[in-house]
Structure 1
Amino acid sequence: MAMKEGGGGGGGTLSEIYQNSKRLLIKTRDAVERLERLEFSSPGMDSPELSYSIKRDISQIQSFCVDMDRLWRSIGSKPQRDLWKRKVEQVAEEVDSLKESLDKHTQRIQNRMKEAKERAELLERSNGESHTVLRIYDDERVAMQSARNSSIMLEDAYSTGVAILSKYAEQRDLLKRVQRKTLDVLNTTTLSNSVLKLIERRHRVDKWIAYTGMTITVIVVYAFWRWTH
């Protein structure tokens, strides 16, 4: 069977278009492998020119597949038609696999770029939050120091008050002791006065007894003298 059916991709025959698509598949597969090696050897690295070239070649192969799909359907012999159908489907599967690999690579690069952007934003936000946290920490530290100073002042005031009250208590005890001694002195003085008064009364009684005894003695002596004479 002559393969002179018209088609796209430069108007070649089905066989010519197929051979062109196979050569382009090999080239595109090698390019995808280079792109993946570049990505995994240096994570985050990309080659936009190589990616664009691969994408362009994939579009060309897909265009070949469209032409070949139209051409094999026009083959009269069923065995030949079935054969070309499988060949074209194989090319289509291979180009879809390459396109999927390219899409995954592109998605990984986009994800890494997104992650890098998010990390940068997070870092920038963290730096801003760090300044805020440091400012809050400084404010808290100043407040805690002020509270500590106030606590020290209150403790000093309390200690001073306790000391004053202790002095007052000591003075009160001293006054009480003085008062007790004064009362003791007063009581002693009162007791002494009572004793003196008692002694004085006793002295007067003794004087009266003495005077009475002397008088009685004089009377007795005088009476005896008169009786004897």
Structure 2
Amino acid sequence: MAVEGGATLSDLYNRSRRLLLKTRDDLEKLERLFAAVDSPELSVSVRRDISQIQTLCSEMDGLWRSVASKPQRDLWKRKVEQVAEEADSLRVSLDRYMQRQQKRLQEAQERADLLGRTNGESSHILRIFDEEAQAMESARNSSRMLEEATATGTAILAKYSEQRERLKGAQRKALDVLNTLGLSNSVLRIIERRNRVDQWIKYAGMILTLIVVVVFLRWVR
């Protein structure tokens, strides 16, 4: 079973596993850099990879349902669910990181404001943190757009999967109707043949009765 472009269920699964490993490594890198420097580009990249994993899960969800063998279908269902759960866990971890980073920036801003009230040399510090805050805001906006795009893609894939199931159901009903019509035609032909035989039996009985009556009348005379 393959999707458009020739990717099979195994291909999509292997791609999602590689993305999970890469995303997990990038998250660990973000945590290591947390206390030293912010990396909005890396956080956006992590968010983008998580969104891609979720898209792959949506594609795989439409494919494992079409696997003919029930044991294989159940196995693929567990695999896809596991990938989806890991992606959700990574997304939660990234959200927590972003919240801590935002809190750190707010605390730094408050310290800079306090320094500004005690001396007039805080303008440079404020400018640095303003730039960092703007970078964080840009990262959040990019993450939000990625999530919206992923949600839209997931909804489209789910709609396609639903339409495919409806088409399969309609096909099965059409086959049932055709089979029923075929059976009905056979029954009608049998009934027609039986009617013709009954008519021949009736005519033969009438002729036989007439012959018997004629013979009897002649014998009586």
TM-score w.r.t. the length of structure 1 is: 0.48
Q: Distance in 1 between matches of 2:54 and 2:89?
A: 12
CA distances 1:19-71 after superposition (whole Å, capped 9, x unpaired): 0101111111111111111114x2xx211121121111111111100001111
Corresponding position of 1:37: 32
Corresponding position of 1:167: none
Q: Distance in 2 between matches of 1:11 and 1:100?
A: 32
Equivalent residue for 1:76, pick from 51, 54, 68:
68
Corresponding position of 1:13: 8
Corresponding position of 1:114: 106
In structure 2, the residue corresponding to 1:33 is in which secondary structure?
A: helix
Structure 1: unaligned runs, 5 residues or longer: 129-229
CA distances 1:182-223 after superposition (whole Å, capped 9, x unpaired): xxxxxxxxxxxxxxxxxxxxxxxxxxxxxxxxxxxxxxxxxx
Superposed counterparts of 1:1-229, under 5 Å: 4-6=1-3, 11-40=6-35, 42=36, 45-125=37-117
Larger of the two Rg values belongs to structure: 1
In structure 2, the residue corresponding to 1:74 is in which secondary structure?
A: coil
**How far 1:119 moved relative to its partner?**
2.5
Quote the RMSD (CA, aligned, Å).
Answer: 1.9
Which amino acid is the alignment partner of residue 73 of structure 1? R
In structure 1, the residue corresponding to 2:34 is in which secondary structure?
A: helix
Corresponding position of 1:218: none
Q: Distance in 1 between matches of 2:68 and 2:118?
A: 71
Q: Distance in 2 between matches of 1:89 and 1:67?
A: 12
Q: Which contiguous aligned blocks of 4+ residues in structure 1 show a shift greater than 4 angstroms?
A: 125-128
TM-score w.r.t. the length of structure 2 is: 0.50
CA distances 1:68-112 after superposition (whole Å, capped 9, x unpaired): 111111222221111111100110111111111111111111111
Higher RCO (C-alpha under 8 Å, 6+ residues apart): 2
Which amino acid is the alignment partner of residue 12 of structure 1? A
* Aligned length in residues: 120
In structure 2, the residue corresponding to 1:76 is in which secondary structure?
A: coil
In structure 2, the residue corresponding to 1:5 is in which secondary structure?
A: coil
**How far 1:125 moved relative to its partner?**
4.4
Query: Percentage identity across aligned positions?
Result: 65
Q: Distance in 2 between matches of 1:66 and 1:11?
A: 16
Which amino acid is the alignment partner of residue 6 of structure 1? V
Q: Distance in 2 between matches of 1:88 and 1:46?
A: 33
Q: Distance in 1 between matches of 2:51 and 2:107?
A: 30
